[in-house]
Structure formats: C-alpha cells, structure tokens
Amino acid sequence: MFTNELATLIGSALDEDIGSGDITTACTVPQTAVGKGFIVAKEPLVLAGIAVAKRVFLTVNSDLELSLLLEDGSRAMIGERLLEVTGNLAAILTAERTALNFLQRLSGIATLTRSFVDKVANTSVRILDTRKTTPGWRFLEKAAVKAGGGYNHRFGLYDGILIKDNHIVAAGGIRQAVMAVRACETSRLKVQVEVETLDQLAEAISAGSDAVLLDNMDIDTMAEAVQRAGGKILLEASGGITLENVRQVADTGVDLISAGALTHSARAVDMSMEVEAVS
C-alpha cells in the first residue's frame, strides 16, 4: 500500500538534496571505496520509518546491503544501533541525510505518541491522530502514530464522516446535517458529530449520531457529557489535548482522545550516522 507514493516522495527528497550531484563526496571519496555505516540513537526514542530509511539507501544504490537492527515500534536507548548499511561508501554518504530526515521525523512522531499512550496507561482510552499532517507525508505519519502505540482516525475526507461546526452551520443544524448525510451517503459509514456544548450533545444523540467529538470542552463539562451519554454513544475528546492534561481527560471516561499534536508538533529525535571505511 502507498508503494508508488513512497517511491515518489523519496525520489523528490533525493532530487532536492542531491540535485546535479554530491560535490563534496565526489571530491573526497574514491569511487571504489567500500564502507560500513550505522544509524545510532542519540537520545531515548521509539523507532518509526526504518523501512523507509532502507528504501532511501537502496534508491541511491541498489547494491548496498542493509540490516535493520530494530523494528518500528521498538524503544531504543542512547547509543543503540538502529540500521547497518554496507557497500559503496560514496552512495552511503550521499543517502545519509535524506534517510536520517525521514527516520528522525517519523521516530519523533512515534516517540511523542508513546508518551501520550503511556500517560493513559491502565485506562481503556485509545489515543488517535488527526488529519493535521504534513502534506504528502500522511501515510507515513499515521504509520508512525501506530508504531508509537496510537490509533489512526479517518485517513481522509473519503473514508469517514465527521460533521464539524461549519457543516452544521451550512446544513442549518445538527439534526438537519445528520439527516442529510443519512440521505445521501450510501456506504453507510458511521456518522460522527462535533459538539461544543451539552445541549449540542443531546441533539447529536437524539439525531441518531454514531459517535460524538467533544471539542475543546473543559474537564468538568466533559465529565458531565460522559454521564449524560450514559454509554449510549462513542465519545471522543479533542482540542487542546496535551501531555499535561491527557490523563485528566482520560479519567473523565471518554472512549477516545485525538491529538493533532502527535503529528503537527512532534520534534525530530536526535540520531546520526557513524561510518567506517572498510577498503
């Protein structure tokens, strides 16, 4: 899945970095030189994107030999080796930065996601991502969320129904929006409605929604929403979710918590490549 998209993305990234050629490597590394490189964690992290990094190296030179020393989802400590690559030294050095860019970004998402998941340990809550992703990277970033122990929300506008505030305004109300979706949607996807107040929650439930997104509610209102829903409908909390408050949100009794921060605010983790010249 997404094989063509990945090839295109890697190709564009390499074109951006290499351009007409890697001048420094061409001037300093003999074309016949053979070497070995290791990608090493420089801080504790959760790994994601290791197969993407491998693909980058093989795109530059298909004769390189690679060993993936850890799998996506693995925790890595400082100094731990993640990937080994052997072969043409010039190719290894040319591919290094692009491979690291993918791996650092995606591992950053997985690491942040695991932090959120750990915060809600021993609850039944699932941590979800959103569509707040880097354009063109969504399939990779959502895979990184899963590597970190999270779950994927809808992938795009085509595989899930979420009636948001602007849809409600355009349709003339929550009930009208739900009825309109039921009338025109033939695939029978579950219908979720975004609400901001307890009155809207009651309207969404009475309109026959399958799930409700509690948007930017404070903790007390959210807890009251859980009580009023009484387990009759799936409840998702979203908006303003942070590592500092996610446990409080989970303890209200909601079923799902979605956080755009997993993808739009994750920092790239620190890792580097160490190279040994073999011959």
Q: Strand locations in 196-261, DSSP E?
A: 211-215, 234-238, 256-258
142 is known as an active-site residue: no
Q: Are the C-beta atoms of residues 140 and 106 closer than 8 Å to each other?
A: yes
114 is known as an active-site residue: no
- Look up tokens 């409840």; give the residue: 235
194 is known as an active-site residue: yes
- Look up tokens 């409700």; give the residue: 212
**Identified catalytic residue from 75, 81, 97, 131:** 97
Residue (of 130, 189, 194, 127) closest to 159 by Cα position:
189
Contacts of 262 (CB under 8 A, 6+ apart): 109, 112, 113, 116, 127, 129, 130, 145, 148, 150
Q: Are the C-beta atoms of residues 239 and 210 closer than 8 Å to each other?
A: no
**Identified catalytic residue from 80, 194, 203, 255:** 194
36 is known as an active-site residue: no
Q: How many CA atoms lie within 13 A of 59 on its CB side?
A: 22
Dihedral sign, CA of 158, 159, 162, 168? positive
Among left, alpha and beta (phi > 0; psi -120 to 50; other), residue 151 is: beta
164 is known as an active-site residue: yes
**Identified catalytic residue from 75, 146, 164, 175:** 164
**Identified catalytic residue from 84, 215, 224, 270:** 215
**Identified catalytic residue from 36, 81, 132, 146:** 132
| Residues acting as catalytic residues | 97, 132, 164, 194, 215
